[in-house]
Amino acid sequence: MAGRVIVITSGKGGVGKTTTSANIGTALAKLGNKVVLIDTDIGLRNLDLLLGLENRIVYTIVDVVEERCKLKQALVKDKKNPNLSLLAAAQTRDKTSVTSEQLKDICDELKKKNDFILVDCPAGIEQGFQNAVAGANEAIVVTTPEMSAVRDADRIIGLLEAKEEIESYKLLLNRVRPKLIEQNDMMSVDDVVEILSCDLIGVIPEDTGIITSTNKGEPIVNDEKALAGQAYRNVAKRIMGEDIPLLDLNVKESFFDKLKNLFTKGKV
């Protein structure tokens, strides 16, 4: 079995790389795939928190590289889903503790026994990014419809283009706010796609549920009702090759809302 190694990256921090990694990983596992999540943000690890696994971590990726344990020992199984496991980053070290070659070796090793290896990339375009990308064949570029995030995504796309190992990359537009877009206060999905000229793998609406799910250490894909959870489940299916249309994010306005908007906007 040769699994797929997908790096989840963005350039800019805070756009939702780690949230995306946790959710897509969980969704893929729920669909019956064997999935390993690798946190490469050494020194600033967070993926364990989002999965609620922070108390179970014994060994980290640095321990594996420095041969204090076997790779298998460092993989932490998810509470709910035995198909999903996490290789955590070390919190007390820095990005130089692991080299690109070492990360590539780990990915190659994990590929043999898993369907998907998702690499959660640190922000920035320095060594941490180079390491995370080293073992991957595919990439998901996470961005939001904000200028700075789109600009950084463009930079990342330029760097990914230059990497021969990366066979394909897709765009994931996070924290989309349909209402603002409707009022022309925010760039639309089409605007961002046109500017970056990159294929889309999914659109995730802004959802306050993300905050509560992070607080509980439970990815939002486990919440069947949440719109963001639905969007992430769709992304997972698209990664597996299914053809699923984008979610309709437009919130249905009640008659009263329409009436209110009519007066506040002064629009005909």
Count of residues of this chain found to bind another protein when the rule CB under 8 A is applied: 23
* Residue 178 near residue 251 (C-beta atoms within 8 A): yes
User: Between residues 110 and 187, which has the closer beta carbon with respect to another protein?
Assistant: 187
To another protein, the closest distance from the beta carbon of 248 in angstroms equals 20
CA dist., res. 31 & res. 245, Å (int): 18
CA dist., res. 118 & res. 225, Å (int): 25
User: Between residues 81 and 261, which has the closer beta carbon with respect to another protein?
Assistant: 261
To another protein, the closest distance from the beta carbon of 230 in angstroms equals 26
Among 73, 168, 183, 250, binds another protein (CB under 8 A): 183
Question: Using CB under 8 A, which of the segments 18-26, 176-184, 217-225, 237-245 binds another protein?
Answer: 176-184
* Residue 228 near residue 209 (C-beta atoms within 8 A): yes
**147 binding another protein? (CB under 8 A):** yes
**268 binding another protein? (CB under 8 A):** yes
Q: What are φ and ψ of residue 135, in 5° steps?
A: -90, 0
Assign 223 to helix, strand or coil: coil
Burial (CB count <10 Å: 0-12, 13-18, 19+), residue 254: exposed
The alpha carbon dihedral of 2, 122, 239, 214 has a sign of positive
Among 35, 157, 171, 226, binds another protein (CB under 8 A): 157
Among 94, 101, 161, 167, binds another protein (CB under 8 A): 161
**141 binding another protein? (CB under 8 A):** no
CA dist., res. 61 & res. 188, Å (int): 39
**267 binding another protein? (CB under 8 A):** yes
* Residue 162 near residue 134 (C-beta atoms within 8 A): no
Contacts of residue 123, Cβ cutoff 8 Å, sequence gap at least 6: 10, 11, 12, 13, 14, 17
To another protein, the closest distance from the beta carbon of 171 in angstroms equals 12
Q: Which of these, 202, 226, 199, 201, lies nearest to 214 by C-alpha position?
A: 226
Query: Which amino acid is located at 63 in the chain?
Result: D
Question: Using CB under 8 A, which of the segments 7-15, 101-109, 152-160, 248-256 binds another protein?
Answer: 152-160
Distance of CA 179 to the CA centre of its chain: 24
Among 197, 208, 215, 254, binds another protein (CB under 8 A): 197
Among 55, 184, 208, 254, binds another protein (CB under 8 A): 184
Question: Using CB under 8 A, which of the segments 75-83, 150-158, 207-215, 226-234 binds another protein?
Answer: 150-158
Q: What is Dmax (Cα atoms) for the chain?
A: 69
**264 binding another protein? (CB under 8 A):** no
Question: Using CB under 8 A, which of the segments 23-31, 37-45, 148-156, 236-244 binds another protein?
Answer: 148-156
Q: What is the contact surface with another protein in residues (CB under 8 A)?
A: 147, 150-151, 154-155, 157-158, 161-162, 181, 183-188, 191, 195, 197, 265-268
